[in-house]
Amino acid sequence: MKAYLKNNVIVGFYNGEPHAPKDCETLDLTTRADIPLLGYIYDEETDTFSQPKPHALEKVPLDVIALAACDIIDEEASVAYNNIIGSMHNKLALYTAKYHDAKAYKLQVYGDAVATYKWVASEVSATGKKAEEVADMFIEKYSALVDIMTKVEELRVYGKSMVRAATKIEEVREARSHAITELRALI
């Protein structure tokens, strides 16, 4: 096996192919015990390989880090919403429709005209419960769902506002971490 070298850095290997890339030297590795990796540096004087030294990364601006943190908070809130509502996207619409049907039924002071309130009537028919009980249950479930979704939104907005208000990278990390911890505690 041979290695391609460019400026003493290994840029490729080959087994018997006749041509190396342009501007590359070749080094026979057939008898060597130390087979290097791509990117390793070859020292001709000592006939050894060494790992490249890592380059210092440029400092990432605070606003870029804050933007990424806000995206992470949005994703975590999305996960919370999906866990609350489930993967059935129409579930919220169903709860909303049932809520409005139940509210309308209650505004009629319950009564005998249950059949005109399709969601309430359907549940009564399926469960044998009283219409008043079903209407109260629909309203209670919807209210609980709205309460938890409101809390998710509150935590999402608050977390992002704390990130945007941060003046140091560590403050961004703390705000992001706090928001994520709080959102995860809801689910």
Look at residue 167 and tell me whether its pLDDT is greater than 90: yes
Q: How far apart, in whole angstroms, are the C-alpha atoms of residue 105 and residue 91? A: 21
Nearest to 4 by CA among 13, 93, 171: 13
Residues 11 and 67 reside in one and the same domain: no
Q: Quickly list H helices, the chain.
A: 62-85, 91-107, 118-127, 131-165, 169-186
Q: Is residue 56 in some structural domain?
A: no
Q: How far apart, in whole angstroms, are the C-alpha atoms of residue 81 and residue 106? A: 29
Q: pTM of the predicted model, to two decimals?
A: 0.62
For residue 118, what are the contacts with CB-CB under 8 A and spacing of at least 6? 101
Q: How far apart, in whole angstroms, are the C-alpha atoms of residue 167 and residue 150? A: 28
Question: By percentage, how much of the chain surpasses pLDDT 90?
Answer: 49
Q: Is residue 57 in some structural domain?
A: no
Task: Lowest mean pLDDT of 21-25, 122-126, 158-162, 170-174, name the range.
Answer: 21-25
Total domains in the chain come to: 2
Q: Return the pLDDT at 143.
A: 93
Residues 181 and 91 reside in one and the same domain: yes
27 membership: H or E segment, kind and range: strand 25-28
Q: Supply the range of the domain harboring residue 7.
A: 2-50
Residues 24 and 102 reside in one and the same domain: no
Q: Please give the structure tokens belonging to residue 166.
A: 């941060």
Q: What is the pLDDT of residues 85-133, one digit of tens each?
A: 876 667 888 899 999 999 999 888 777 788 889 999 999 999 999 999 9
DSSP string, 150-181: HHHHHHHHHHHHHHHH-SSHHHHHHHHHHHHH
Q: Is residue 121 in some structural domain?
A: yes
Q: Return the pLDDT at 151.
A: 95
Q: Return the pLDDT at 89.
A: 67
Q: Please give the structure tokens belonging to residue 71.
A: 């995206």
Task: Lowest mean pLDDT of 37-41, 85-89, 111-115, 156-160, name the range.
Answer: 85-89
Q: Return the pLDDT at 51.
A: 86
Q: What is the pLDDT of residues 49-68, one digit of tens each?
A: 888 887 766 788 899 999 99
Residues 15 and 77 reside in one and the same domain: no
